[in-house]
A and B are shown apart, each in its own frame.
Chain A
Amino acid sequence: MLAWIRALASRTRASLSRRQLDQEFERELDAHLEMLADENVRRGMSPEQARRAARIRLGGRAQLQETNRELHGLPALETFFQDTRYAFRMLRKNPGFTAVAVLTLALGIGANTAIFSVVYAMLLKPLPYSHPEQLLTVFEAQPQAGVNATGWSYANFAELREQNRIFSDMAGSQQHQLTLTGRGEPSVVNTSVVTPELFSVFGQRPILGRPFYPEDGKPGAPAAVILSENLWRGSFGADPNVIGSSINLDKRSFTIVGVMPAVFRFPILTASEQLWIPLAQDPFFGSWMDRRGGHWLQVTGRLKPGVSMTQAQAELEAIGARLAREFPAENDGWTIRFMPLKQKIVGNVKSALLVLMGAVALVLLIACANIANLLLTRATSRAREIAVRTALGAGRSRIVRQLLRETLVLGLLGGLAGIALAYLGVQGLTALMPQDLPQVNAIRVDNFVLGFALLLSAVASCAFGLAPALFAANSNLQSSLGEGGARSGESGNRRRARSVLAAGEIALAMVLLVAAGLLVRSFSKLMAVNPGFDAQHVVQADISLPRFQYSMPQQWAAFSKELLTRLQSEPGMRDTAVVVPRPMTDGFVNLGFDIVGNPPVSAGASRTANYVSVSPDYFRVMEIPLLAGRLFGPHDVAASPRVSLISEAMARIYFPNQNPLGKQIVFGFPPDIGAAREIVGVVGDVRDVALEQDPQAMMYVPYAQAPLGDANVVVRSGLSAASVASTIRRDVQQIDKDLPVTDVAMMKDTIDGTVAQPKFRTFLLGLFAAIALVLAATGIFGVISYSVSRRTNEIGIRVALGASRNTILGMVLRETLVMTWAGLVLGLPSALAASHLLGHMLFNVSANDPATLATVAFTLALIAVIAGYIPARRATRVDPMVALRYE
C-alpha cells in the first residue's frame, strides 16, 4: 500500500516536470551507450562498429523513451492530453475531411438541439406554476351529443367551487380583447377575464401591488385591473407608481391594483402584453354570470395534497349528478370531466412535436452513418501510419483509444458548431412559429438543452467512431508496412461495412422522405379545398364596439348601417358588408333550433346549426352562391317579418326531400328569443370553422334584425389591403373617433393563418427530409468514388483487356444500384411503419399512399444513380497505362 502511494506520488511529480524527466533519461541512455561502446572497442571493434553494436544492444531508443514516460506519468491523464493534442493535429492536417465531417455533424446536432429546445420547453419542462402537477382543468361534457369538453356557466362553477372537497381552490377564466384608451392611441389589449381566485390557485404573487381579493369579484365592486409585466414595461414605462392610477377599458375606468411577473402566462399562454380583470367587471361575460345555461368559463382547480385522481373522478361525478338533478333544465345529460392542466395545454401539439423529434433523430443517424463512412475511408488510407505507430510500440488499445479520441474531438467540434446552429435555429423557429402555439415556457437554448446537445455529440461520436477504430486495430501490420501496403490494406469487411452504411442511409432517408411527402400531399390537398367562398380581394376588419357606450342592439345596427353607407360611397369599394362571427376568424356560434310544425326532438339528438348575422351584401362580397329563394334585402329590417337563410347542408340534413322555403325555424338567442323566422332562401355551403372541417349546417339572419356585438366589416375591392384599411379607419373615426380598427387583413391571409400549424410542421419535416436526402446522396457519392479510386488498377486492366466504357460504367453503377435497392427494400417497411405515426396529421391522404411511396422510391433511386454516376463516369476515363502504373 505504502509502496503504491509512493509510486503514485512519484508519478504525479514526474508528470509535472516532463521535459526534465525526458532529458535526464536521455543522458542516462547516452552514458549507457558510451560505456557499452567503450567495452566493444576494448573487445576490438572499430569505434564505428562499436557504436552501432551498442545501439542494437540497448534496443529501440524511442520505445525506451515511450516506456519511461508511461512509467513515470499518470497514464490515463497523460495519454488523454496527448491523444487529444494528436487528434487536433490530425484533424488540422485534413481540413477538407474535418470540414465535411464537422458540418455534417453540426447539421444533425443543430437540428436536434433546436427541436429539442422546443420539446423541452413545451413537453418536458414543468409548467412554471407552483406544484403544477396539482393543477387540473375541469370540463363539462355532454357525451350523448358528442360534446367531450366544454366550459362552464358561472352559476354551475360557483356550485362546484362551493360543494367539492377535493380542490384547495378553483378559478374560472375567459379571454377576449378590450379597447384600452386614455394612454395615447386607442389600442386593443388581450384581456383575461377571471374570478379573483386565479392567482392564488396558481400560487403566483404580483411583482407590484396586490392580487385580486374575493371582494373584487363581487358585482358592484370598484373596477380593478392587474397588468402583465410586459404591458407595464411596454405601455406604462415600468412606472413604479402605477398602482392606484386608472386606465380606460372599453371607455370604462379601471383602477390598477397590481402587476404580474412576465413568467406568469395564464389563461393567455403567450408572452404578449395582457391584463386581467374580474369577471364581474367584464362588459361582455359579466352579464352572463347569473345565467346557468351556457358553457363559456374555463375552470382550473388545484387538488388538495394527497387527493388521488380516482378520488377526484368519484367526487366530480357525484357533483355532476347532483347538478343535473337540481337544475335539470340546464344540466340534464351533462357530466363533469377533467384532465391535468399540462395535458390540456400541450395536448394538440404533442404528437406533431414527437414526430419532428423523431425526424431530426433520423437526420442525426444519417449524419453519423455518413461520418462513419468518411472515417472508414480515411482509416484505410491511414493503415500505414497506424502500422508504423504499432511498430514503434503503441499498444492496440492505445491505437483504438487514439482513434476514438479523434472522433470524440470531431464530435465535440461538430457539437459546438451544432449548438451555434441551434441558437440560429431556435431564433428562426420562434419567429416562424404559428401564433396559436402555447408558449408557457420560453423556448431557448438553456443549460439543460446545452447538456443534451453535448451528450448527443458524445454519443454520436462514439456511434460513428467505434467501427472504424475496431477495423483499424485489426489491420495486419506486415501487409500494411509492405510496399504499396497503403493501397492493398483494405479488407473486404471494411468495404462491406461501408456499403451497409450507405444502404442504411438510403433506408433512413426514405422514412423521412415518405413522411415529408405525405405531409406535403396532405397540405396541398388542404390548400386545394374550396371553402365555399372566394377569399381573393376580400379585406376584413374588426371594429369592436365598446359595450358600455354601445350597450343596445339598436346602437350596433345603427352604427353598422352608418358605416356601410359611408364605405359604400368610397371609390373602389365594390361591395361591403357586416358579418358576425367572421368565418375562419371568430370561431362559431352553434345554436339549437326547432322547426315550426315539427315535433321537438328528443334530448341528446338536438338540431343545431351555426348562426351568423350578416348585412344584405355579405353573400355578394364573399361570392357565396344563392341556390334557391332570395337573399336578404334592404327591406329586411327590425320592423319587418323575421327571415333567415340556410345553407345547403342545413337544407339537406333537416329538410330532406322537402322544400325548406317558407318553413319557419325558432331558436332561443337574443334579441328575439322564441320568434319564428321564415326561411327565404338557400345559399351555398361554407367551411366556416376550418379548411379541414366539412361544411356544417348554417343559418343566416339579417344583421338589422339580429345585430350581434361587433361590427366586423368585409369589403370586396380591387384596391390594396392598406388603402382599404385606411379608408375603413377614416370612415370609422368620422363616426366615433375613439373606436379602434384592428385586425385588418386580407381574407386570404386569414385563411392561411388557420393552416399555419400544418404548414409549419410540413415545412420543417420537408426541410429535414431534404437534409437527409443530401446527406444520403453524399454518402453514396463518397462510397462509390472511393471504391472507384481503389479499383483504378483493376479497371485499368479491364480496359487494357478490351472492356468497353459501357461495361465499366455498368460495373460501377451496378454497385450503386445494389446499395440503393437494399436501402429501398429496408426503407419501405420502416417508412410504412413510421407514416402511420403521422395519423391524424394527414388530411385526405392515406398513410400508405402508393403515389407518395412510388415518388419517393423513384426520387431516391434517381438521386442515388446520379450520385453514383459521377464517379462511374470518372472510372470510364481511366487510362490503362496510367492505371497500371498507379500502385
Chain B
Amino acid sequence: MAGDKSEILQGTLDLMVLKTLESMGPLHGYGIARRIEQVSEEALQINQGTIYASLVRLMQRGWISGAWGTSDHNRRAKFYSITRAGRKQLHTEAENWERISAVIGRVLRSAERG
C-alpha cells in the first residue's frame, strides 16, 4: 500500500465496521466501505476489498450477522447487521479506543513541547 495513505490497523477497521453497522443498520460490503470513506472525508482510501476480511472476522466472532438481500439498485448483495454481542463489544472497544487515543494524544503533545 502506498506510503502517504494512513495504513489502517486491523482492529481499527473492525471497530469502524462495527460502528458503521450500528449507526446505519443493515448494509452490504460496498456500502460499508463507501460509508467509512465518506465519514472519514476521504482521508481513508482503502482497498475496498480489505473490508471483507474484517467482515469475516466479525461474523466468526458472532458480532455481526449476514444475509443475502437486494440493494437499492436491485442487485443481489449480502447485507450485514450488528448483533447484540456486537453492540456490547463496540461499546467496550470504543471506550478503550477513546482512552488510548487520549493518552497517545497527551504523550505526543508533551513530546512536542519537550
Contacts and interface: CB of A to CB of B under 8 A. Distances in A.
Interface stretch (B18-26, B43-51, B90-98, B99-107): B43-51
A36 B30 contact: yes
Interface in B61-77: 61-63, 71, 73, 75-77
B60 A31 contact: no
A670 B11 CA distance: 103
B78 A68 contact: no
A6 B49 CA distance: 24
Contacts of B59: 10
A332 interface: no
Given A27-B76, A31-B76, A31-B77, A57 B47 contact: yes
A72 B62 CA distance: 14
Given A58-B47, A64-B49, A6 B60 contact: yes
Contact of A28 (B29, B50, B61): B29
A6 B52 contact: no
Contacts of A321: none
B62 to A, nearest CB: 5
A28 B61 CA distance: 20
B62 A3 contact: yes
A71 B30 CA distance: 20
A28 B78 contact: yes
A71 B57 contact: yes
B48 A25 contact: no
A35 B77 CA distance: 10
A10 B60 contact: yes
Contacts of A67: 52-53
Contact of A34 (B47, B50, B75, B85): B75
Contacts of B53: 64, 67-68, 71
A58 B56 contact: no
Nearest to A69: B56
A735 to B, nearest CB: 97
Nearest to A61: B49
A35 B60 contact: no
Contacts, number: 77
B29 A32 contact: yes
A38 interface: yes
A60 interface: yes
A24 B66 CA distance: 12
Interface string A1-27: 011101100110000000000001101
Most buried by B among A25, A38, A57: A57
Nearest to A71: B56
B52 A64 contact: yes
Interface string B24-46: 00001111011000000000000
B61 A35 contact: no
A78 to B, nearest CB: 14
Contact of A11 (B60, B62, B85): B60
Contacts of B85: 3
B11 to A, nearest CB: 14
Nearest to A28: B78
Interface string A53-83: 0000111110110011001100000000000
A59 B47 contact: yes
Contacts of B47: 57-59
Contacts of B48: 32, 36, 57-59
Contact of A71 (B31, B49, B60, B78): B60
A24 B77 CA distance: 10
Most buried by A among B59, B60, B61, B78: B60
Interface string A664-681: 000000000000000000
A324 interface: no
A60 B48 CA distance: 10
B71 A31 contact: yes
A876 B30 CA distance: 64
Contacts of A38: 73
A29 interface: yes
A35 B62 contact: no
B30 A25 contact: no
The winner among A27, A31, A63, A67 for most chain B CB atoms within 10 A is A31
Contacts of A57: 47-48
B93 to A, nearest CB: 13
A6 B56 CA distance: 12
A685 B107 CA distance: 103
Contacts of B34: 39
Contacts of B50: 59
Choose among B29, B50, B52, B77 the residue with the greatest number of A CB atoms under 10 Å from its CB. B52
B24 to A, nearest CB: 15
A57 to B, nearest CB: 5
Contacts of A61: 49
A6 B61 contact: yes
A62 to B, nearest CB: 11
Interface in A180-231: none
Nearest to B37: A57
Of B49, B76, B77, the most chain A CB neighbours within 10 A belong to B49
Contact of B62 (A6, A24, A27, A63): A6
A31 B61 contact: no
Given A29-B49, A32-B48, A68-B53, 5 more contacts: A31-B71, A32-B28, A58-B49, A59-B48, A67-B52
Interface of B: 28-31, 33-34, 47-50, 52-53, 56-57, 59-63, 71, 73, 75-78, 85
Cβ-closest 7 pairs across A and B: A59-B47, A59-B49, A7-B60, A3-B61, A31-B77, A35-B30, A71-B56
Interface of A: 2-4, 6-7, 10-11, 24-25, 27-29, 31-32, 34-36, 38-39, 57-61, 63-64, 67-68, 71-72
12 contacts: A7-B60, A10-B59, A10-B60, A28-B29, A28-B52, A32-B30, A36-B30, A58-B48, A59-B47, A59-B50, A67-B53, A71-B56
